[in-house]
Amino acid sequence: MSNTNSSIGLANVLYIDLTNETSKVVERQDLIDTYLGGTGVATMLMHEEFKEGTDALAPESPIVFSIGPLSGIFPCCTKVVAMFRSPLTGEFGESHAGGRLAMAMRFAGCSSVVITGRAKRPVYITIHNNEIAFKDASSIWGLSSTTDIGKILRNVEPNIGKRSIIRIGSAGENGVRYASVNVDTYRHFGRLGLGAVFGSKNLKAIEISGDGEIEVPDINVYSKIYKEIFTNIVETDLMEKYHNLGTTENILPLNELSGLPTRNLQQTFFEYAETISGENFADNYLVRKISCANCPIGCIHIAMLKTSFGHSHEYEVRHISYDYELVYALGTNLGVLTPEGVLELIDRCEQYGVDIISVGVVLGWATEMSMQKKFTNEETKGVSLKWGDVKNYLLAIDLIIESPNEFYSALAKGVVFASKKYGGEDFAIHAGGLEIPGYHTGVGNLIGLSVGVRHSHLDNGGYSIDQKAFKGDLSDEDIVDTLIFEDDIRGALTSITICLFARGIYTYGTIIEALAAVGIERSEEELVKLGKDIFMKKYELKRKFGFSLDDVTFPSRFFETASTNGMIDEARVQNMLSMYKKKRWGAGGE
């Protein structure tokens, strides 16, 4: 790979075979021409690489990473899309991460990376421009802290250029089905268990760096559009929310609207919300805000947690990133009412490298079960969970990662598996097998999570449609139409790997201008069609993995706890799901 003009690296797919420790680069202009990059290209590479019936943790199971045509070139085009078969749900695995990874891939000259096989020993991969090496990771395998792994690799791999280090912790090594992949310390491929797939391949980390150059067709046109986008971000109020309090700004409004899942969704109002609100974190714990590479927003909020460890005023200081979903999962959902308690729990999960939302939901379900005395002392190893008990939640997290017995192994497989084995399925709060991310706003959210390809609130933003419905009149058909519209526009945005927080900046008009500045001509109609096509291609993959919307079931807890828009009627949800299927796939359904 060499980087001498604008298109270099845009079409290069780096294929890595861990079993034989070999690699090759193939130019795939055909994929870029049709699907641009990101979710579109990753979906097509998964179609090519995934052989039907392959287990998520089998050596042949592929991992695909893709960036987009504007990565490293325009502000907020920061995401890398990862695709894999999820070991948590058994079906479609898609996760997005920021940090420096997209920039490093771009300057190393590869737009996608496909990884298959299983290394015979623990390894980490280094990619520097066109040099690929497989290195022994036995000395860092088993280290309990993802932060320390990053520090070690930064020291032993002093590659120059723009660099990113992604790695797993003990959760991924031990096969916890919702293990994450840490990206540059404060970002993650968080959801659906990519960390466990890394672990199953004996792949500890990837360090990638590059020092190539990108040329654009007309530097004056590029500079003008860059400046317009940059100015729109930093000199208007459009992104202020994300920079100011960050996503934790949502805690108090959602609480007031009764949409904040609390104590395993037994309530949607947390009486101590003020103490763990974005405002309180910002006033008393926030020490800095940082950004993904090439983003001027700075939405990543870092808190300082100072803990005493000696008699003579000895302190340990930890810097911990926090977000709305994390504060919900380990705060309101577990009845934890102090910022220190929430930060302790976040930090423990971060060091193990595990999806914090899934941990919070698994522990919420386990707390209800525990309080109903459904587990034996032998099963829990004496850890008795109750709401707000941080000390025992920390012990439970340690045991889930360690999985010393059948009980904790079940918890490490997610809330669906654990509740099927031990009971309490009615209050195992998941959608499509994925633990829910913290919004109980109404039918839009529930249907959005069910139909979304990742079962994520970011697929179509159903929670925000509910908030609009709360303020005014939206018919059921309006809600379904908006979900489809959002699914499709987000398909186009994520094929370009634009951070979804910046979707207000990147209108169709801006996207068209930015693409033109790097020599790609697309009309609004073509982008709309692209979003729809990607959605359909992903559903083809989902079917290969065994998913059908007809099989979706809902825990009854969703219909027993009032949402922002009141009680949710199950029959109404089923009717709207049918309406969605009809609008998407016609009378014949999915």
Nearer to ligand SF4 by C-beta: 3 or 497?
A: 497
CA–centroid distance for 72 within its chain: 20
Nearer to ligand SF4 by C-beta: 36 or 498?
A: 498
> Which range in 84-92, 288-296, 517-525, 540-548 contacts ligand SF4 by CB under 6 A?
288-296
Please identify which residue in 13, 499, 511, 552 interacts with ligand SF4, judged by CB under 6 A. 499
Number of alpha carbons in the 13 Å side-chain half-sphere of residue 306: 7
408 forms part of the interface with ligand SF4 (CB under 6 A): no
278 forms part of the interface with ligand SF4 (CB under 6 A): no
> Which range in 10-18, 295-303, 423-431, 435-443 contacts ligand SF4 by CB under 6 A?
295-303
Nearer to ligand SF4 by C-beta: 13 or 320?
A: 320
Please identify which residue in 50, 198, 222, 501 interacts with ligand SF4, judged by CB under 6 A. 501
Nearer to ligand SF4 by C-beta: 412 or 489?
A: 489
498 forms part of the interface with ligand SF4 (CB under 6 A): no
Q: Is 234 exposed, middle or buried (0-12, 13-18, 19+ CB in 10 A)?
A: middle
| Shortest spacing between CB 180 and ligand SF4, in angstroms | 15
| Shortest spacing between CB 297 and ligand SF4, in angstroms | 4
**491 and 530 Cβ atoms separated by less than 8 Å:** yes
Nearer to ligand SF4 by C-beta: 98 or 261?
A: 98
Q: What's the one-letter identity of residue 351? A: Q
Please identify which residue in 67, 103, 252, 300 interacts with ligand SF4, judged by CB under 6 A. 300
- Nearest 5 degrees, angle CA 35-CA 37-CA 39? 85
How far apart (Å, rounded) are the C-alpha atoms in residues 332 and 300? 21
74 forms part of the interface with ligand SF4 (CB under 6 A): no
Nearer to ligand SF4 by C-beta: 47 or 243?
A: 243
291 forms part of the interface with ligand SF4 (CB under 6 A): yes
CA–centroid distance for 432 within its chain: 16
390 forms part of the interface with ligand SF4 (CB under 6 A): no
Site string for ligand SF4, 96-115 (x = CB under 6 A): --x-----------------
292 forms part of the interface with ligand SF4 (CB under 6 A): yes
CB atoms within 10 A of CB 52: 7
506 forms part of the interface with ligand SF4 (CB under 6 A): no
Nearer to ligand SF4 by C-beta: 98 or 172?
A: 98
254 forms part of the interface with ligand SF4 (CB under 6 A): no
> Which range in 89-97, 268-276, 290-298, 455-463 contacts ligand SF4 by CB under 6 A?
290-298
78 forms part of the interface with ligand SF4 (CB under 6 A): yes
- Nearest 5 degrees, angle CA 76-CA 80-CA 83? 150
Please identify which residue in 124, 242, 554, 580 interacts with ligand SF4, judged by CB under 6 A. 242
Nearer to ligand SF4 by C-beta: 298 or 519?
A: 298
297 forms part of the interface with ligand SF4 (CB under 6 A): yes
> Which range in 30-38, 248-256, 294-302, 347-355 contacts ligand SF4 by CB under 6 A?
294-302
Where helices occur in 50-209 by DSSP H, the ranges are: 101-108, 146-156, 170-173, 194-200
Nearer to ligand SF4 by C-beta: 78 or 95?
A: 78
Nearer to ligand SF4 by C-beta: 186 or 393?
A: 186
Q: Is 513 exposed, middle or buried (0-12, 13-18, 19+ CB in 10 A)?
A: middle
β-bridge pairing 203-210 and 123-128: parallel
* Helices 476-495/38-49 angle, 10° precision: 80
How far apart (Å, rounded) are the C-alpha atoms in residues 49 and 41? 12
CB atoms within 10 A of CB 311: 6
349 forms part of the interface with ligand SF4 (CB under 6 A): no
| Shortest spacing between CB 486 and ligand SF4, in angstroms | 18
Query: Could you give phi then psi for residue 183, rounded to 5 degrees?
Result: -115, 110
Site string for ligand SF4, 32-71 (x = CB under 6 A): ----------------------------------------
CB atoms within 10 A of CB 64: 24
β-bridge pairing 187-189 and 181-183: antiparallel
Query: Could you give phi then psi for residue 12, rounded to 5 degrees?
Result: -80, 125
The helix/strand/coil state of 23 is: strand
Nearer to ligand SF4 by C-beta: 233 or 415?
A: 233
**366 and 418 Cβ atoms separated by less than 8 Å:** yes
493 forms part of the interface with ligand SF4 (CB under 6 A): no
Please identify which residue in 110, 257, 295, 465 interacts with ligand SF4, judged by CB under 6 A. 295
How far apart (Å, rounded) are the C-alpha atoms in residues 129 and 8? 12
How far apart, in Å, do the first and last CA atoms of the chain sit? 42
**82 and 146 Cβ atoms separated by less than 8 Å:** no
Nearer to ligand SF4 by C-beta: 295 or 443?
A: 295
Size, binding site for ligand SF4 by CB under 6 A: 13
Nearer to ligand SF4 by C-beta: 104 or 549?
A: 104
How far apart (Å, rounded) are the C-alpha atoms in residues 476 and 42? 33
How far apart (Å, rounded) are the C-alpha atoms in residues 261 and 361? 10
| Shortest spacing between CB 176 and ligand SF4, in angstroms | 25
Nearer to ligand SF4 by C-beta: 252 or 299?
A: 299
| Shortest spacing between CB 98 and ligand SF4, in angstroms | 4
Comparing CA positions, the residue from 89, 84, 90, 26 lying closest to residue 60 is 84
Residue carrying structure tokens 């360090």: 207
Separation in Å, CA 21 to CA 17, 105, 132, 497: 6, 20, 10, 29
Q: Is the dihedral of CA 372, 331, 563, 415 positive or negative?
A: negative
186 forms part of the interface with ligand SF4 (CB under 6 A): no
Which residues in this chain contact ligand SF4 in the complex, by CB under 6 A? 76, 78, 98, 242, 291-292, 295, 297-300, 499, 501
